[in-house]
């Protein structure tokens, strides 16, 4: 049990996928202008990452490895993620049209979100067990959602601040992202018994 607590804590705070591994930067910068769409994107990525990791783990262990097809791992993982995102898009369009409209072009971009593919490949490379893989994926996605939501809240406040003209927009966003990354590095000294 302690092992799972450690992996959850580590994936969310210490080894945050955005701040320590620099994966998922495109939606991190692109969707973080609005708190509601950032939260929605975080939840969508959480769902896709958890399901994609489970499906790609099964694909890796029951198809690719037994038949010696590991060399098509990346392309097969991308196809699985693309199918899952299309299903999510169809469901979201029916269940929450406002969130679907708010996410706009960023919802199909989950297909090419390197954080989703990165987690699936990390799980395959480190040869985690199934339950461990799913827990790791969910915790990593929660870390992504946390980073995205915090950053969106800060960017909302930055819109009200008197930022010098040359620093408005992306420059100040990148500076804030760097400061957030340093803040998250503070968790790296914490040890779980």
Summarised one tens digit per residue, pLDDT across range 113-129 is 889 999 999 999 999 99
pTM score: 0.87
For the chain, the three-class secondary structure string (H helix, E strand, C coil) is CHHHHHHHHHHHHHCCCCCCCCCCHHHHHHCCCCHHHHHHHHHHHHHHHHHHHHHHHHHHHHHHCCCCCHHHHHHHHHHHHHHHHHHHHHHHHHHCHHHHHHHHHHCHHHHHCHHHHHHHHHHHHHCCCHHHHHHHHHHHHHHHHHHHHHHHHHHHHHCCCCCCHHHCCHHHHHHHHHHHHHHHHHHHHCCCC
Q: Parse the chain into domains and list their residue ranges.
A: 2-186
Summarised one tens digit per residue, pLDDT across range 130-142 is 999 999 999 999 9
């Amino acid at each position: 049990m302690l092992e799972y607590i450690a992996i959850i804590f580590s994936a969310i705070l210490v080894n945050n996928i955005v701040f320590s591994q620099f994966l998922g930067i495109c939606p991190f910068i692109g969707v973080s202008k609005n708190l509601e769409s950032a939260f929605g994107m975080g939840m969508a990525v959480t769902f896709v990452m958890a399901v994609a990791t489970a499906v790609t783990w099964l694909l890796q262990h029951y198809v690719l490895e037994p038949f010696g097809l590991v060399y098509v791992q990346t392309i097969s993982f991308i196809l699985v993620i693309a199918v899952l995102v299309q299903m999510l898009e169809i469901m979201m369009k029916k269940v929450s049209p406002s969130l679907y409209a708010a996410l706009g072009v960023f919802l199909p971009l989950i297909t090419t979100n390197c954080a989703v593919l990165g987690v699936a490949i990390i799980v395959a490379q480190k040869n985690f067990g199934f339950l461990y893989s799913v827990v790791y994926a969910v915790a990593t996605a929660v870390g992504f959602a946390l980073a995205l939501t915090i950053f969106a809240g800060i960017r909302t406040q930055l819109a009200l601040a008197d930022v010098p003209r040359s620093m408005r927009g992306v420059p100040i966003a990148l500076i804030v992202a760097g400061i957030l990354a340093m803040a998250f590095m503070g968790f790296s000294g914490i040890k779980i018994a």
